[in-house]
């Protein structure tokens, strides 16, 4: 099929960054981009900071699908879901017919984890621009929002809502905020800062039931607590979008498995962004952040334009966008033996190092005026992928 | 020229890094393809400007010293 295009599925930061990088390297390459959403370009990390910055769903659109198609010279097909992939035939099935591909790139993102307790479906989750528009349409000035989950996204939304005049209750089943990423003292620092701007924290017991009331919702927690709110927002984590790949017979773990050249288990099918699990030399990781996705896009653009390339990833510090308590977290590998050591922890800022058994720096966590050290420390921490 | 105009036209020489994606804004170079002339200080870029790589605003940039 000499004239089949490179087909990218997904118009999130992964799909669009790849299209942009590939266009730079291959001005003549036919590129088709298919996406289930409207194809509007927006910055997903802005969703949890938009209120305080005076942004709305429409102002978050940075370019329409049409403008993107023109700028990047794409055959862009918005509002079109891909329903099946036939790897042997190099063919896709979409809502509006079949399509051949020379090379296929899956940039399908991740979806919110389904909660399974009575009434869980009454909680909103905000994982894309359409979700955000729905959320804002239902958010009245000063409304009381109950957030489920005190991870990165839950804490950022709590800060953004509280700072823009809403009442906020933050519910977390675990004992503390950001428990998988931060040392306990930084979790506490964040909790105190959120409380100081009015966030009510209920930690140590998760939601068991949500009931619709005449006005708003009643949420019951495992510890018997009953809380009322105008809206319930769920921020309990994302799971890579793997169904399409799985039914096409591609190797799938937590995410769509790819190697350091972003190849899936099928010839001419690649994947990047939140939908992938990088499996390299025995270790495997899902990295649902912008920085790794940008690096993946650059490497894949190079490969697709004919120049062999491999992914390498330095340590990945993540900025927690909570203005009440700015932090940078670079947690160690989940299974790494070692302990957090406090270098400094005072009212202005904090520095914590995670040291391995041999005293080597495996991770770090910074707060306040120490956040500026992130690049210097990241240079000393182990690379995610050599 | 008034003092204000002088401050406005001051040529920037600092660099800034995006906290989300590591994009570096070099004031000396500007971003001519986006209409940001070489020498434009970060402070003179509108608040609605978006990081060319990941789309976050100026609020998510910090000074960068190489
Ligand atoms: C509120 C929030 C704040 C965040 N803040 C940060 C931050 O500060 N820093 C950071 O590094 N990361 C942050 N992240 C994570 C970051 O935004 C994601 O890692 C990144 O946006 C993922 O991009 P993606 O393109 O892989 O996925 P997505 O943006 O989810 O895009 C997936 C695309 O695939 C399409 N699609 C899916 N299935 C199909 C199908 N079958 N057919 C056709 N199209 C399909 C969808 O319509 C969509 O266009 C944040 C995430 C959230 C939710
Ligand atoms: Zn950026």
Residue A363: name the closest of A323, A329, A312 by CA: A329
Residues A22 and A103 grouped into a single domain: yes
Could you tell me which chain B residue has the CA closest to the CA of A47?
A: B56
In a domain, A318, yes or no: no
Residues A215 and A259 grouped into a single domain: no
Could you tell me which chain B residue has the CA closest to the CA of A45?
A: B56
Which among A234, A252, A285 is the end of a domain? A234
Residues A125 and A221 grouped into a single domain: yes
Q: Does residue A84 line the site of ligand 1, with CB under 6 A?
A: no
What does R_g of chain B's alpha carbons equal in angstroms?
12
In a domain, A50, yes or no: yes
Shortest CA gap A43–chain B (Å): 5
What does the alpha-carbon distance between residue A112 and residue A122 come to, in Å, rounded to a whole number?
14
CA of A33 to the centre of ligand 1 (A): 16
A319:B54 CB<8 A: no
Residues A296 and A276 grouped into a single domain: yes
Residue A313: name the closest of A377, A260, A265 by CA: A260
Least confident among A4-18, A141-155, B10-24: B10-24
pTM for the structure as a whole:
0.96
Confidence check: pLDDT of A322 > 80: yes
Looking at residue A291, its pLDDT comes to 96
Looking at residue A2, its pLDDT comes to 47
A63 touches chain B (CB under 8 A): no
- Structural domain count, chain A: 3
Residues A276 and A335 grouped into a single domain: no
In a domain, A383, yes or no: no
- pLDDT, tens digit, for every residue of A146-176? 999 999 999 999 999 999 999 999 999 999 9
Q: Which tokens in the block code for residue A88?
A: 């042997």
Mean pLDDT of A362-374: 96
Q: Does residue A237 line the site of ligand 1, with CB under 6 A?
A: no
Handedness of CA A151, A155, A158, A160 (dihedral sign): negative
Confidence check: pLDDT of B6 > 90: no
In a domain, A27, yes or no: yes
Looking at residue B2, its pLDDT comes to 39
Could you tell me which chain A residue has the CA closest to the CA of B50?
A: A62
Q: What is the DSSP string of A276-297?
A: EEEEETTEEE---SHHHHHHHH
DSSP secondary structure letter of residue A230: S
Domain that holds residue A119: 114-234
Looking at residue A280, its pLDDT comes to 80
Shortest CA gap B65–chain A (Å): 10
Residues A105 and A246 grouped into a single domain: yes
Q: What percent of chain B has pLDDT over 70?
A: 86
Portion 209-228 of A in contact with B at CB < 8 A: none
Residues A205 and A120 grouped into a single domain: yes
B22:A291 CB<8 A: yes
Residues A350 and A214 grouped into a single domain: no
Looking at residue A371, its pLDDT comes to 95
Q: Does residue A326 line the site of ligand 1, with CB under 6 A?
A: no
In a domain, A229, yes or no: yes
Which among A219, A234, A249 is the end of a domain? A234
Mean pLDDT of A364-383: 95
Residues A120 and A81 grouped into a single domain: no
Could you tell me which chain B residue has the CA closest to the CA of A297?
A: B53
Residue A225: CB atoms within 10 A of its CB come to 13
Residue A43 has its nearest CB partner, among B17, B19, B56, at: B56
- pLDDT, tens digit, for every residue of A37-64? 999 999 999 999 999 999 999 999 999 9
Residues A90 and A25 grouped into a single domain: yes
- pLDDT, tens digit, for every residue of A58-116? 999 999 999 999 999 999 999 999 999 999 999 999 999 999 999 999 999 999 999 99
In a domain, A309, yes or no: no
B59 touches chain A (CB under 8 A): yes
- pLDDT, tens digit, for every residue of A207-263? 999 999 999 999 999 999 999 999 999 999 999 999 999 999 999 999 999 999 999
- pLDDT mean across residues, chain B: 87
Residue A2: CB atoms within 10 A of its CB come to 4
What does the alpha-carbon distance between residue A60 and residue B50 come to, in Å, rounded to a whole number?
10
Residue A300: name the closest of A273, A268, A262 by CA: A262
Confidence check: pLDDT of B65 > 90: no
Residues A142 and A209 grouped into a single domain: yes
Residue A278: name the closest of A304, A250, A256 by CA: A256
What does the alpha-carbon distance between residue A361 and residue A317 come to, in Å, rounded to a whole number?
13
Chain B hits for A11, CB-CB cut-off 8 Å, are none
Q: Does residue A15 line the site of ligand 1, with CB under 6 A?
A: yes
Portion 280-309 of A in contact with B at CB < 8 A: 290-291, 294
From the CA of A321, the nearest ligand is: 1
B53:A17 CB<8 A: yes
The two beta strands, A144-148 and A167-172, are parallel
Strand partners for A124: A233
> Contact A115/A236 with Cβ under 8 angstroms?
yes
Looking at residue A343, its pLDDT comes to 98
Residues A25 and A75 grouped into a single domain: yes
The number of C-alpha atoms within 13 Å of A49 and in the hemisphere containing its C-beta is: 20
Ligand 1 atom, smallest distance to A244 CA: 41
In a domain, A48, yes or no: yes
**A/B interface, count of CB pairs below 8 Å:** 44
Looking at residue B3, its pLDDT comes to 44
Residue A62 has its nearest CB partner, among B17, B55, B63, at: B55
A67 touches chain B (CB under 8 A): no
Mean pLDDT of B39-58: 94
- pLDDT, tens digit, for every residue of A280-293? 877 789 999 999 99
Q: What is the 3-state secondary structure (H, E, C) of B16-51?
A: EEECCCCCEEECCCCEHHHCECCCCCHHHCCCCCCC
A372:B62 CB<8 A: yes
> Contact A301/A18 with Cβ under 8 angstroms?
yes
CA distances from A271 to A41, A92, A293, A307 (A): 19, 15, 10, 17
- pLDDT, tens digit, for every residue of A112-134? 999 999 999 999 999 999 999 99
CA of B23 to the centre of ligand 2 (A): 5
What does the alpha-carbon distance between residue B48 and residue A62 come to, in Å, rounded to a whole number?
10
CATH number for the domain that contains residue A157? 3.50.50.60
In a domain, A317, yes or no: no
- SS3 at position A152: helix
CA of A341 to the centre of ligand 1 (A): 34
Which among A234, A256, A276 is the end of a domain? A234
């Amino acid at each position: 099929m000499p004239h089949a295009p490179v087909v990218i599925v997904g118009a999130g930061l992964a799909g669009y960054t790849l299209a942009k990088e590939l266009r730079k390297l291959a001005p003549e390459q036919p590129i088709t981009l298919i996406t289930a959403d409207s194809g509007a370009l927006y910055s997903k990390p802005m969703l949890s900071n938009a209120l305080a910055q005076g942004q709305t769903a429409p102002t978050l659109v940075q370019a329409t699908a049409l403008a993107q198609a023109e700028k990047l010279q794409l055959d862009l097909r918005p509002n079109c879901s891909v329903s099946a992939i036939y790897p042997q035939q190099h063919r896709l099935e979409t809502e509006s017919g079949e399509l051949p591909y020379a090379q296929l790139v899956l940039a399908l993102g991740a979806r919110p984890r389904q909660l399974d307790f009575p009434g869980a479906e009454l909680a909103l989750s905000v994982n894309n621009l359409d979700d955000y528009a729905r959320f804002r349409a239902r958010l009245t000035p000063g409304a009381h929002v109950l957030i489920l989950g005190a991870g990165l996204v839950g804490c950022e939304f709590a800060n953004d809502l509280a700072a823009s005049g809403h009442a906020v209750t933050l519910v977390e089943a675990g004992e503390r905020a950001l428990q998988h990423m931060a040392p306990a003292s930084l979790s506490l620092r964040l909790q105190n800062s959120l409380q100081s701007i009015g966030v009510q924290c209920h930690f140590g017991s998760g939601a068991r039931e949500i009931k619709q009331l005449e006005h708003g919702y009643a949420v019951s927690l495992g510890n018997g607590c009953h809380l009322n709110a105008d809206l319930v927002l769920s921020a309990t984590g994302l799971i890579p979008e793997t169904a399409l790949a799985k039914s096409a017979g591609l190797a799938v773990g937590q995410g769509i498995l790819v190697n350091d050249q972003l190849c899936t288990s099928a010839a001419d099918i690649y994947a990047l962004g939140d939908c992938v699990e990088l499996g390299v030399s025995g270790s495997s990781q899902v990295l649902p952040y912008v920085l790794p996705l940008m690096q993946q896009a650059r490497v894949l653009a190079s490969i697709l334009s004919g120049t062999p390339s491999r992914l390498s990833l330095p340590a990945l510090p993540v900025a927690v966008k909570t203005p009440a308590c700015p932090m940078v977290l670079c947690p160690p590998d989940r299974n790494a033996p070692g302990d957090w050591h406090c270098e400094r922890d005072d009212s202005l800022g904090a520095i914590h190092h995670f040291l391995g058994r041999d005293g080597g720096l495996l991770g770090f966590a910074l707060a306040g005026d120490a956040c500026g050290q992130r690049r210097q420390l990241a240079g000393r921490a182990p690379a995610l992928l050599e | 020229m008034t003092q204000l105009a002088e401050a406005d036209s001051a040529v920037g020489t600092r660099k800034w890094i995006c906290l989300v994606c590591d994009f570096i804004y070099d004031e000396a170079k500007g971003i001519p393809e986006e209409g940001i002339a070489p020498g434009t200080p970060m402070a003179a870029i509108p608040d609605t400007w978006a990081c060319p790589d990941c789309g976050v605003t100026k609020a998510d940039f910090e000074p960068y010293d190489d």
